[in-house]
Amino acid sequence: MITAAVQQRENYLTAGHGLKSWLLTKDHKRIALLYFFTITVFFFLGGVFASMIRLELITPQGDLMSSDTYNKMFTMHGIIMVFFFLVPSIPATLGNFFLPIMIGARDLAFPRINLLSWYLLVIGGGFALFAMFAGGVDTGWTFYTPYSTTYSNTWVLATAVGVFIAGFSSILTGLNFIVTVHRMRAPGMTWFRMPLFVWANYATALIQVLGTPVLAVTLVLVFAERALHIGIFDPALGGDPVLFQHLFWFYSHPAVYIMVLPGMGVISELISTFSRKPVYGYSFIAASSLAIAIIGFLVWGHHLFVSTQSVYAGMVFSFLSYFVAIPSAIKVFNWTATLYKGSISFETPMLYAFGFIGLFTIGGLTGLFLASLGLDVHVTDTYFVIAHFHYVMVGGTIMAYLGGIHYWWPKMTGRMYPDGWAKLSAGIIFLGFNLTFFPQFILGYMGMPRRYHAYPDEFQVLHVLSSAGASVLAIGYLLPAIYFAWSLKYGPVAGPNPWGATGLEWKTDSPPPTHNFDEIPVVNHEAYDYTSVEAELA
Amino acid sequence: MGPTLPLFPEQASNFASEVDLLYLFFVVVTVIFSIGIFGAIFIFAVKFRRKSPTEIPISTHTGMLLEVVWSVIPFGITMIMFAWGASIFFKESRPPDNATPMYVVGKQWMWKIQHPEGQREINELHVPTGRPIKLTMTSEDVIHSFYIPAFRTKQDVVPGRYSTIWFIPTKPGKYHLFCAEYCGTKHSGMIGWVYVMDPEKYQEWLNGGAPMGSMAEKGGKLFDDLACANCHKPDGSGRCPSLVGLYRRHVQLADGRVITADEAYLRESILQPDAKVAAGFQPLMPTFQGLVNEEGVVELIEYIKSLSPAPGTGAASVNVPTPAGEYKQLPPGMEQPAIGNSVPQKR
């Protein structure tokens, strides 16, 4: 009976039909799905490039493809994954969908700007894809000068234009989130009653709005030097090549937090729901998101320890980098403490949350190695760095993203997915990930440099392990694509609150109606108050 | 599995064991924290697993003391990490005054190395054990990075400026030399070997080649060919300052600054003479950009370094408006790092 009633009610998916109703939608939930579809395409494209890299590195000789092709592979892997998948990933999909609902709003503050930001990502992605199919780009995702401005003979400008445009997508999303959180909270939804996912996205939005313009400026300068030969970075034109690195990392280090903070927000939700306890140290986790956002702007120079930056600047940046480690540690400790005396269940999203904490812990702790001047001199620009940031970006952000998708899938689609398959793929991903990236820590300390097409024989064993892991990982990523598609048609109907969770998103239908709530809810309890859902659990 | 699976590269420089010890400290901290967190999660997950579908546990209140403790203790540990890492870095950044100078020019995609005795090498570096070696490095095109894993040290090689790296090789052998900063098509081919040799063997190697004269001699020839001596007269009577005894001296500039005449200053003065004009002189010198390549520049620098000051002369002509001795000790916090003249010129 209930099932029938749910299916009969109109929801955001049935509210309009045809392509036009999607491409011109102003509904944040539909825009979230547009993003979801778009970045999924980019994710698998970036994955194809990653597979090519791992295939080439099975043997020490550069025998599968030419050096130029290999250089394009790792460049396009990085550009696609960073700018067109990780940066938009959680905010633009899960954030877009759930941030308004979680604070009891009917939409984001600027629905048209929200749609515009999706179009900007698509247009930016179009430029990047054009560059790739026209011949590719080989500068590395970091575009270091003067290689990118003077020496590379590839499609640097088209790619830079694409990233520039996608940056505005990110800025507009951030702007929208900030205004929405400030202005559109439901009655009773005070700042310290907001779910931690909202706090995390709010902190992320601040970085997006403050940091991304610097990337835009930097790309304009690259454009000016490469296209107009105005000397900015190339010493042959009177420029300073290290200036580029300062500008680039002034955005791109905070961008690491753009990529990982929303994931931390997801984990807070998952840990609470599947242990049925309020998040331990709620205000510390909320404040740590803001602390990360602020301190994250002061540490960019730790990417430049061997760049000819002054010794003293190096020391200041090393010192400050350790400050940013503490808020991350606080989060991990508080999540762990939340489990204490909880009621812990092991549904798929919780497995991803455990995976996140484990991998992010290793990713974070190995970041301490790189912040240490004496160690960084040896391991910077080696596979150690690659392993570290994949533990944070893939082991952290992507685990959180998949955990979030598995958690909110029933809300977004109204359907459950097959839990057994989902748990299996979570396990495969965890194992495959560690097999891929753990050997790279050892490779890095052994001295294997990054971005090498061919390498000395003694590194082969570890590279083969890594490539084997990558093939396991690929299977783990393909499985969800299959069972999620299956669940859209055949999955059991989920009901409004399948997990017994507390957020406002679980107080409305699955899938939610276009305007989210029949009546704007009035919030009269703290976040994660499980006594408020007691009746639903019975 | 392969024949061996070592976890460390060989230790072949004075820094290697220090860096490895620091690394082990980090590994131990990482393992302890990881086991603590994973263990706690595992124990809680088993012990507090859901017993009934309607179970709602009693919520625990956040303990302020606990929050402070688990913020302060990790912070203390990270400060140890910072100080320890910084002290090694500080040492790595200060080549000793008696270090043997060698020169490295990187270009797509090779390393060109020159010894003061005149030997040139490509993608190979021969060094003796037990003696500090200081490499002054620059690039002819894009940014490269000079990396010897067995020495645990690395330094970017940047066009348009000098960077330095130093080490004391400790163990004879053949070690990898890598380019660690992506530099284009053959980045992974910009590799070579470092041969660390016993001092006697190194001397044999030096004698074995038949160099066309030392770097300073070659620089002296270049100095004549480029007619530098027309203006830079040794006795200071020319239109430009005498270069005798200039190296590592403090120079008063026309704009009032005082700088140390290190390799970076000499290079800049050859390629961009107007950038830092010595006080009391007109900016008459033309640029030699394009007339002399980076290898020629380092030969000129070695020549200038070889011009020892004749007692009582020369020095005054550089610091004309400055009372002698006034700038011997730079006040701390000035543009030059306060830790001595030998600090590599970094910006």
Alpha carbon of residue B241 to chain centroid = 29
Whether A204 contacts chain B with CB within 8 A = no
Per-chain mean pLDDT for chain A: 95
Phi, psi angles (nearest 5°) of residue A415: -125, 150
Interchain CB distance below 8 Å, A452 and B183: no
- Name the pLDDT band for B212 (thresholds 50, 70, 90): confident
Q: Do A343 and B1 touch (CB under 8 A)?
A: no
> What distance in Å separates residue B240's CA from the closest CA in chain A?
25
| DSSP helix/strand/coil, A411 | helix
- B interface test, pick of A151, A280, A308 with most B CB neighbours within 10 Å: A308
Which is nearest to B341 in space by CA: B86, B14, B99? B99
Q: What is the pLDDT of residue A2?
A: 46
Rounded mean pLDDT, A17-26: 94
Contact B205, B127 (CB under 8 A): no
Chain B residues with CB under 8 Å of A530 CB are: 56-57, 59
Q: What is the DSSP string of A490-530?
A: HSPB--S-TT---SGGGGS-SSPPTTS-SS-----S-TT-G
pLDDT tens per residue across span A76-125 = 999 999 999 999 999 999 999 999 999 999 999 999 999 999 999 999 99
Mean pLDDT across A437-462:
96
**Residue B39 Cα, gap to closest chain A Cα (Å):** 10
The answer to whether the Cβ–Cβ distance between B154 and A454 falls below 8 Å is no
DSSP letter at B2 equals: -
Q: Show residues of chain A in contact with B7, CB under 8 Å.
A: 442, 445-446
Q: Which residues pair with B196 in a beta bridge?
A: B127, B173
Least confident of A167-171, A457-461, B52-56: B52-56
Smallest CA–CA separation between B234 and chain A, in Å?
32
pLDDT at A1 over 70: no
CA distance to partner chain A, nearest, from residue B224 (Å):
26
Q: Which residues in chain A are contacts of B62 at CB distance < 8 A?
A: 280-284
- Name the residue facing B26 among A326, A375, A446 (closest C-beta): A375
All residues of chain B having their beta carbon less than 8 Å from the beta carbon of residue A320 are: none
Contact across the interface for B44 and A445, Cβ inside 8 Å = no
User: What is the mean predicted confidence (pLDDT) over A456-471?
Assistant: 96
Q: How confident is the model at residue B4 (pLDDT cuts 50, 70, 90)?
A: low
Beta bridge partners of B138: B105
Q: Is A381 on the interface with B (CB under 8 A)?
A: yes
Q: Which of the residues A137, A352, A375, A537 would you substitute to probe the B interface, choosing the one with the greatest number of B C-beta atoms within 10 Å?
A: A375
Cα A457 to Cα A417: distance, rounded to the nearest angstrom: 45
The amino acid sitting at B176 is: H
Q: Which tens digit of pLDDT belongs to each residue from B93-118?
A: 999 999 999 999 999 999 999 999 88
In 3-state terms chain A splits into helix, strand, coil percentages (rounded to 5) of 75, 0, 25
Provide the H-helix boundaries in A299-347. Answer: 311-339
pLDDT beyond 70 at B194: yes
ipTM of the complex: 0.94
| Tens digit of each residue's pLDDT (9 = 90 or more) over B222-273 | 998 888 888 898 888 888 888 888 888 899 998 889 989 988 899 999 988 8
- Cβ proximity of A277 and A190 under 8 Å: no
- Give the per-residue pLDDT at A73: 97
Confidence at residue B245, expressed as pLDDT on a 0 to 100 scale: 87
* pLDDT, average across residues B124-148: 96
Q: Which of A333, A342, A369 sits opposite B57 (nearest CB)?
A: A342
Cβ atoms B186, B109 nearer than 8 A: yes
Terminal CA-CA length for chain A: 19
- What is the Cα–Cα distance from A282 to A344, expressed in whole angstroms? 18
- The average pLDDT across B163-192 equals 96
A376 touches chain B (CB under 8 A): yes
Which residues does chain B have within 8 Å of residue A305's beta carbon, measured at their own beta carbons? 89
Cis peptide before B109 (omega within 30 of 0): yes
Q: In chain A, which among 390-449 make CB contacts under 8 A with chain B?
A: 442, 445-447, 449
Interchain CB distance below 8 Å, A380 and B180: yes
Tell if the CB–CB gap between A146 and B67 is shorter than 8 Å: no
**Apex B272 CA angle, B270 and B274, nearest 5:** 110
Q: How far is residue A62's CA from residue A54's CA, in Å, rounded to a whole number?
A: 12
Note the pLDDT of residue B178. Answer: 97
Q: Answer whether A147 sits within 8 Å of B85, measured CB to CB.
A: no
Question: Which pLDDT band holds residue B210 (cuts at 50, 70, 90)?
Answer: low
A39/A412 Cα distance (integer angstroms) = 17
Phi/psi at B164 (nearest 5 deg)? -130, 155
State the pLDDT at residue A243: 97
Is A514 at the interface with chain B, CB within 8 A? no
Q: How far is residue A510's CA from residue A498's CA, in Å, rounded to a whole number?
A: 10
Chain B residues in contact with A275 by the CB 8 A cut-off are: 48, 57
The reported pLDDT for the residue numbered B5 is: 61
Looking at residue B214, what is its pLDDT? 87
What proportion of chain A, given as a percentage, has pLDDT over 70? 98
The interaxial angle of helices A156-183 and A111-134, nearest 10 deg, is 160
Distance CA A175, CA B180 (A): 39
Mean pLDDT over the full length of chain B = 86
From A415's Cα to the closest Cα of chain B, the distance in A is: 21
Query: Given an 8 Å threshold on Cβ–Cβ distance, is B156 in contact with A308?
Result: yes
Identify the three-state secondary structure at position A499. Answer: coil
Report pLDDT for A8. 61
Residue B280 is predicted with a pLDDT of: 86
Residue B65 pLDDT grade (very low, low, confident, very high; cuts 50, 70, 90): very high
- Beta-carbon separation of B347 and A357 below 8 A: no
Half-sphere exposure of B84 (CA within 13 A, CB side): 18
Which tokens in the block code for residue A64? 């599968």
* Residues sharing a CB contact under 8 Å with residue B334, sequence separation 6 or more, in sequence order: B258
pLDDT at position B238 is: 83
Closest CA to A15 of A514, A531, A517: A514
DSSP assignment, residue A143?
T
- Cα angle vertex B154, ends A467, B294, to 5°? 120
Instruction: Give the residue with greater pLDDT, A93 vs B323.
Output: A93
pLDDT at A532: 84
Flag whether residue A61 sits within 8 Å of chain B, measured between CB atoms: no
Of B85, B178, B347, the CB nearest to A308: B347
The gap between the terminal CA atoms of chain B, to the nearest Å, is: 46
Best residue of A272, A302, A344 to probe chain B, by most B CBs closer than 10 Å: A344
Q: What percent of chain B has pLDDT over 70?
A: 86
Please give the pLDDT value at position B235: 83
B324, pLDDT greater than 60: no
8 Å CB contact of A236 and B50 = no
| Confidence class for position B329, pLDDT limits 50, 70, 90 | very low
Cβ separation of A276 and B33 shorter than 8 Å?
A: no
| Average confidence (pLDDT) over A125-147 | 95
Yes or no, beta carbons of A343 and B19 under 8 Å apart: no
